[in-house]
Amino acid sequence: MTKKKKPDNIVYNIEEDKYDAALKPYGTNVGAPAIHTGHTIAWKNRNLDKVNKQFGARYHEIKAQYEAMMEQFEYNELVYGAKFNFEPIVGYTYHMYKDKHEELFLSVIAPHECNFHFVGSFRLNADLMWEKVG
């Protein structure tokens, strides 16, 4: 059975076999206002600039976090690689020196109490990671 084609100005849904002009979200008669797409170039450029600034800011945050983590990693490598013959206590500050053979060692003696070549002071935190003090 063939169905007769409806004129172009008639809104007829072939799949549901009914007229559904009233259900459309847009005007369907000849007198309905025309649908125009706005110029979106300015909107795109404005928002693209905002998004790029957000990505840039996030990148710099991540980069700063990475650099801080690498600095902490290097301090831990330095301190854990040094000589010490005691068990460090969490929360205490220890001082690192170089001996006459240029080898690093950790001590509880403060820099003003000795004549060793002072490298830096470090504190052991609760995560058992060394933090540079001062």
Beta strand spans in 1-134 (E): 12-13, 18-19, 93-98, 104-107, 117-124, 130-133
Q: Is 95 exposed, middle or buried (0-12, 13-18, 19+ CB in 10 A)?
A: buried
Residue 26 counted as domain residue? no
**Do residues 68 and 44 lie in contact, with contact meaning Cβ atoms separated by under 8 Å?**
no
- The tens-digit pLDDT sequence of the chain (134 residues) is 456 777 666 777 778 888 887 777 777 777 787 777 777 888 888 899 999 999 999 999 999 999 999 999 999 999 999 999 999 999 999 999 999 899 999 999 999 998 899 999 999 999 999 999 98
Domain extent at residue 116:
40-133
Count of domains in the chain?
1
Residue 21 counted as domain residue? no
Residue 19 counted as domain residue? no
